[in-house]
Amino acid sequence: MPSALGSVLRLARRVPVATLAAAPCSSRTSSGTSRTHYRRRHQRHQQDQQEQRACGCGRGAAALGLTVATFSQLPQQQDEADGPAAALVATAEPDDDVLDLVDELSAWERVEEARKELCSFGVSRHPEVLWREARLCWLQAERLKEQQQLAGDAKTLHARLVAEGYACVQLALQLDPACGRAHQWMSALRYARAELRGPLARLRCVDQLRLDMERAVQLLPADGAPRTMLGMWYYEVSQLNWVERQAVKAAGQTVPGPAECLSLALHWMMEADALYASCLNDLMLGKTLLAMGDSERARTYVERAARRAPRDQSDVKAQLEAAELLEPWRD
């Protein structure tokens, strides 16, 4: 994939982790609603099992001519290690406080501390745990890239982290196709995986990245982060030169015209701006408006990005870029 389009996923890591630590209550509400959904499903599953056991015991006792008193004296059957009880443990509802702490640590890219907290769930098959594990794998893999250490053992570790992260988010989506966060992180890990497979794989995943983000937008209506990511996708596509656009088209991918891309980028970023406060979204709004020739409005958003108090690592990085963009206006 051309370098301009690839940067949307490199920047994307700063959006989702920022949402839970810095977004308004609406973002946390959507996450809480998702957890409530899993909790209720788990409780229904337990209730169904109890009813099935009760019915089974009643039929068995009647068939054997046992009374309630004699049945109560029989030893209780224990579930096998790989039976229903083990399945319930594997998908047990994770503690919300721990998940919130993992999100906050991830927002500041404190990967080791976040991973230590996430390990408290053991080997979990819960989607809310799986997509967070995928996020940590991706953050750690990106850190290796930023440090330019992709050689020897570091290169092997990077590939393993990407593979593990992709497997985690893929399993999360298999268990719950309606998990918006998993779709959001699938876009990042899908591209990281394509990078390892070569230029053709990167070109062929362009449309799927957009579809991942669009699905996240649909499933997270009160969350601005997926909208920022989708807007960034359109902005980066608008910056492709003619040769790069032809290469993407030759791979069978959709490449809207530059003007259409900028219009759609502005649309999604404005929607995000109405949902949460983000230095990154402000910065991207400024860059989009600047590309559209509206320098006055662009300056307003870039200045706002530079003024906001940083709430996470993404804000810090966005502010550094905003300060650089403001230099020509200050001369």
pLDDT more than 90, % of the chain? 64
| Per-residue CA distances from 155 to 9, 141, 189 (Å) | 19, 9, 16
Which tokens belong to 69? 């008193």
pLDDT per position as a tens digit, 245-258: 999 999 999 899 99
Handedness of CA 6, 104, 231, 297 (dihedral sign): negative
User: Which of the four pLDDT bands, split at 50, 70 and 90, describes residue 331?
Assistant: low
pLDDT per position as a tens digit, 174-219: 999 999 999 999 999 999 999 999 999 999 999 999 999 999 999 9
pLDDT at 146: 83
pLDDT per position as a tens digit, 8-52: 444 433 443 333 333 333 444 455 555 655 566 556 655 654 544
pLDDT at 330: 79
Mean pLDDT score of the chain: 80
Which tokens belong to 151? 């050689």
* pLDDT over 70 (residue 66): no
* pLDDT over 90 (residue 90): no
Q: What would the DSSP string read from start to end of 32-87?
A: HHHHHHHHHHHHHHHHHHHHHHHHHHHHHHHHHT--HHHHHTSPPPPPPTTSHHHH
pLDDT per position as a tens digit, 130-145: 999 999 999 999 999 8
Helix (H/G/I), strand (E/B), else coil: 256: coil
pLDDT at 41: 58
Instruction: Name residue 255's amino acid.
Output: V
213 within 8 A of 230, measured Cβ to Cβ = yes
> pTM score, two decimals?
0.75
CA nearest 5: which of 235, 252, 229, 187?
A: 235
